[in-house]
Amino acid sequence: MKYFEDLESVLNSELFEQLQSKKETDRVLKSTKIEQMIYEDLYTDNLTLKECEDSGKKQLDSFGSLINDVFQSIYGITPKYNDDAELSFNARTINTEILKKLMKDDKYSAIKSVCEGKELPSLSATEEFSDSICQNLNEFMENISGGKGRTDVLDRLENDRQELIKSLSELIHRRNEKSQPNSETIDKKIIQTANRIISKQEQKDGYEHIIKENIRRYGKNLCKAVENAANKALDKAKETENIMLAWGNGESEMRKNELNIEILQHCAKSEKLKNIAKSLGRYRELITVKRVSGYKYGSGEKYDIEYGNSISKTLTSDLALLSEKETLPLFIRKYQKKQLRKYRKREPEHKDRGDVIVCVDESGSTTGADNEYAMAITMLLGELCRINKTNFAVIHFSSSTVKTDCFYSKDELDRKKLISCAETFLGGGTNFENPLNEAMRLAQIEEFKKADIVFITDGKCDISDAFCKTFTEFKAKSEIKLIGILLDAKSSFEFSLQRFADKIFRTSELDKDAIAEKIIDERI
């Protein structure tokens, strides 16, 4: 860069464009006002993100904005970049490099498919990705900064340059005052200050070049760190999505609210609930697909326009208001007043299905995967009863213990009670007669007179001939059917369900998901 030798060259230089310094941003990606409001709401009271940001900022001042951009990249529809000229050096080099590596990663499209438009999965993925990057940030910053661990030198050089630009502005202002004496002295100071600005800029450019070269040099290390973080983010996003699908209220946006946060916090402490959710989440999605195919007027036929504020269902003509600054306030007003247009669709016709009593074997032999699958099927039946507006009961049994949970169609579903029911495990031995006696008792009260009984067990038990006769007579009189689900995939013993069951599904003969699908088909 050429230094100045006279005042005229200073006055005709590009330095005057720098007299009013441009405001730089650490945000690499653009967010709409609504998207930013959603992020800020999720960020509020989130200790995990705040601790991660505080830790990351010790090495990288722009780490907080990086967290925001990671959320934007997976939650928003299409990432849009701010102009490079508007970005701070850290944002332009380090943040952008991390984000571009994330978006080029093989797992990115999978993360997007889970998170796009869904608040809580996006938040979980952002937490996991940011925490993983933060753990590797110290080593990366040490490498690119030549052992200093930070890019503070750039900040100091930029601050010095800005102070010199301010001094240059003051000197030129003094020179322009007609009454100002010693103009030659001021002219020399102007030239000296201008040359010092150039010197600072050269130092800054040189240090920036070193950092950029080091980023390229250690790019493979960063790539591995991003890949590892993306893997963790995808797993966490899927886990959160499964939990919301399994235990949430079915809302597609999976918003942050008191109940959903409580469910996530509760499930975080229970491996059993998380494992149940892996299956139950899929089954609830399958219910949705099959219900759509059962529309009387065609598969989700659109027949009218209605209004609301569900972004995912809004017509594209209204979403187009987001594309221009002039029309954005109109979109926000429509969103706030629930005046966004969406299609109204025909309601599905449900087949007339009755109440359900589920007997779940919770003996010690079912511990682990068998019990988790049994409870996923149990909760699936509960969801089908909720949809069909019928009553639902769960009889937990082992050798001498029976515990009954009832859920009535007239009552609002208590999700906390449902989760507590799913967590129940009695342990001990096995006795079939106790739960069947309890099922007969329930079937005699008004709410369960037309109930079907589903009996889930690993089959390691039997019933007496006398009881078998009594139960067979009860079924014939009450016209109740019993469906058995035998968890015998790893066994080859003679089983006793055939003595009292009308139909039996065996995991040794059918895939577990296939059994779930058959149950759905029969009750949707």
* Residues 163-166: contacts with CB under 8 Å, at least 24 apart: 164/193, 164/196, 164/197, 164/200, 165/15, 165/18, 165/19, 165/21, 165/197
In sequence order, what are the residues at sequence separation of 6 or more whose Cβ sits closer than 8 angstroms to the Cβ of residue 6?
A: 191
Half-sphere exposure of residue 54, counting CA atoms within 13 Å on the CB side?
6
Across the range 82-103, mean pLDDT stands at 91
In the predicted structure, residue 22 carries a pLDDT above the cut 70: no
In the predicted structure, residue 153 carries a pLDDT above the cut 80: no
Integer Cα distance of 409 and 226 in angstroms? 48
Based on the number of CB atoms within 10 Å of its own CB, is 323 exposed (0-12), middle (13-18) or buried (19 or more)? Answer: exposed
Strand (E) positions, 22-96? none
In the predicted structure, residue 376 carries a pLDDT above the cut 50: yes
Whole-number pLDDT of residue 349: 43
Whole-number pLDDT of residue 493: 54
- The reported pTM is 0.75
Closest CA to 160 of 168, 172, 150, 171: 168
Integer Cα distance of 444 and 463 in angstroms? 21
Average pLDDT score over the chain: 86
In sequence order, what are the residues at sequence separation of 6 or more whose Cβ sits closer than 8 angstroms to the Cβ of residue 462?
A: 432, 496, 499
Look up residue 380 and give its DSSP letter: H
The answer to whether 419 and 463 are in contact (CB under 8 A) is no
**Pairwise pLDDT comparison (352 vs 312), residue with the higher score:** 312
Tokens of 178: 């007609």
The answer to whether 435 and 426 are in contact (CB under 8 A) is no
Which residues are paired to 397 by β-bridges? 361, 402
Instruction: Give the pLDDT band (50/70/90) at residue 213.
Output: confident
Whole-number pLDDT of residue 298: 40
Closest CA to 207 of 160, 137, 168: 160
Whole-number pLDDT of residue 451: 93
In the predicted structure, residue 32 carries a pLDDT above the cut 90: yes
Whole-number pLDDT of residue 90: 87
In the predicted structure, residue 345 carries a pLDDT above the cut 70: no
Whole-number pLDDT of residue 209: 78
- Percentage with pLDDT > 70 across the chain: 89
**Pairwise pLDDT comparison (503 vs 351), residue with the higher score:** 503
Across the range 483-502, mean pLDDT stands at 80
- Percentage with pLDDT > 90 across the chain: 56
Across the range 396-421, mean pLDDT stands at 93
Over residues 157-212, the pLDDT tens digits come to: 777 777 887 888 788 777 777 555 566 788 888 888 888 888 887 787 777 777 78
Half-sphere exposure of residue 502, counting CA atoms within 13 Å on the CB side?
12
Across the range 350-366, mean pLDDT stands at 84
Give SS3 for 281. Answer: helix
In sequence order, what are the residues at sequence separation of 6 or more whose Cβ sits closer than 8 angstroms to the Cβ of residue 1?
A: 198, 201, 202
Over residues 219-256, the pLDDT tens digits come to: 788 899 999 999 999 999 999 999 999 998 888 899 99
Give SS3 for 405. Answer: strand
**Which sign, positive or negative, has the C-alpha torsion 83, 86, 89, 95?**
negative
Whole-number pLDDT of residue 297: 40
Q: How far is CA 113 from CA 116, 118, 122, 277, 311, in A?
A: 6, 10, 10, 18, 16
**Pairwise pLDDT comparison (275 vs 352), residue with the higher score:** 275
Whole-number pLDDT of residue 294: 59
Whole-number pLDDT of residue 362: 96
Across the range 8-20, mean pLDDT stands at 66
Q: How far apart are the first and last CA of the chain?
A: 76
Strand (E) positions, 124-222? none
Bridge pairing between strands 402-407 and 392-397:
antiparallel
- CA 359 to the chain's CA centroid: 34
Over residues 39-83, the pLDDT tens digits come to: 999 999 999 999 999 999 988 889 999 999 999 999 999 999 999
The kind and range of the H/E element at 100 are: helix 96-104
Whole-number pLDDT of residue 21: 55
Across the range 443-462, mean pLDDT stands at 90
In the predicted structure, residue 358 carries a pLDDT above the cut 80: yes
Over residues 246-298, the pLDDT tens digits come to: 998 888 899 999 999 999 999 999 999 999 999 999 999 999 888 876 544 44
Across the range 20-33, mean pLDDT stands at 84
